[in-house]
Structure 1
Amino acid sequence: MTRAGTEIGVASTKAFTTQLAAMLMMVVSIARLQGRMTAEREAEIVKSLHELPANIEKALAFDKEIEALATDFADKHHTLFLGRGEYYPIAMEASLKLKEISYIHAEAYAAGELKHGPLALIDADMPVVVVAPTNDLLEKLKSNIEEVRARGGLLYVFADEKAGFEGDENMKIIQMPHVDDIIAPIYYTVPMQLLSYHVALIKGTDVDQPRNLAKAVTVE
């Protein structure tokens, strides 16, 4: 139903992004049937979905930059991913991919919960990857980032170009072109998956057939 075609690799990538697109279409359909969405808003979302392939191409254009970043992760044993609101599940997808194909222990946290445990783990040996679009939670997310910086953490921020971030030796910024909020979670998934891919290649692990994993689950 997602029309993604066959995905041979065990660690799903396009199946994840196409499921997000399919769920968005389902939500729009339900909202329309229930009279909860104006025709104008529906047209805006449909337009954004039509623009999604071109925006995915923009995200893929960061491949070389992400490949360079991946060298910083190859010798690490742990990585923390942070996202707020609807970007927390995107952070979870990112952490899943990194652990699946590079065998680096990775965890995702809702950035607002940083002080409830994960902050104790921050040091120069644990990279912290942040998904930072421009939305109404951006200022709170910036506060979380400052907490990590204050404790000597190494930050890798995938940020909207309009978010106003400035990098330094402890914080690398990957400035992403601005896209419509409704499709942004799908868009930000792609560079996260690319990061895991390149880390795995550097480490020499099997990207398509990770150890101990199988495409079909045959036991409960």
Structure 2
Amino acid sequence: MCGIVGCVTEGDDAPKLLVDGLRRLEYRGYDSAGIAVIQDGVIETLREAGKLANLESTLKGSTIRGGTGLGHTRWATHGRPTQINAHPHRDASGKVVVVHNGIIENFRELRAQLESEGTTFVSDTDSEVIAHLVARNYEGDLAQAVCRSAAVLRGAWAIGVMHADQPDRLVAARKDCPLVIGLGEDANYLASDVTAIMDLTRRVVFLREGEIAAIDRNSLEVFHADGQKVDWVATEIGWSLA
């Protein structure tokens, strides 16, 4: 299983928060790891094959900083466990970045369609299809772009998405794979497992099947698959990690 972590915070310590969260998800198994952070309006990515320690070593020599980011540990299903196939994945412009858990069953069909329209792929993964779909559907509203993109995906999946033009916003969506939103103080989070963010907040929202969530530092909006807003209910986590 892949692991997903995301954060929208006021400071510039997203890289550390993401790596700390990914460390909590190591039990899920993985063969590569990566993070993407919005820094000065540009999405910077770091990806490494192998253990999380490889990514941490690369991060120590990096100047990457920012408050909004996504992290991922990958268990290869489509494509070999290489740096190129590691998440996060970008669209051709570099403005859209996606992390993904699960399998897109119709990715070959979608990839062929996108390639016929001139899209160039750089990885062998099913996940890269999502980044290109979101970019194609983006018209200034990232949540709606994700809604439109999710509508054509078949399979079981959970995704986190960010766009360089909306540097204080993350969008997440799920179908048959879990995702949880963490509600903090002037910061919000997302993760594939609540254990990844329990050091940051105990107030969480478990996304229901087919829902799409948009978070910034101080708000959460949840949408049905058709793009209509729905109510959400927060849960207070009362148990602790061993």
TM-score range, shorter chain: under 0.3
TM-score, normalised on structure 2? 0.25
RCO comparison, higher one (Cα < 8 Å, 6+): 1
Bigger share in strand:
2
Bigger share in helix:
1
TM-score, normalised on structure 1? 0.27
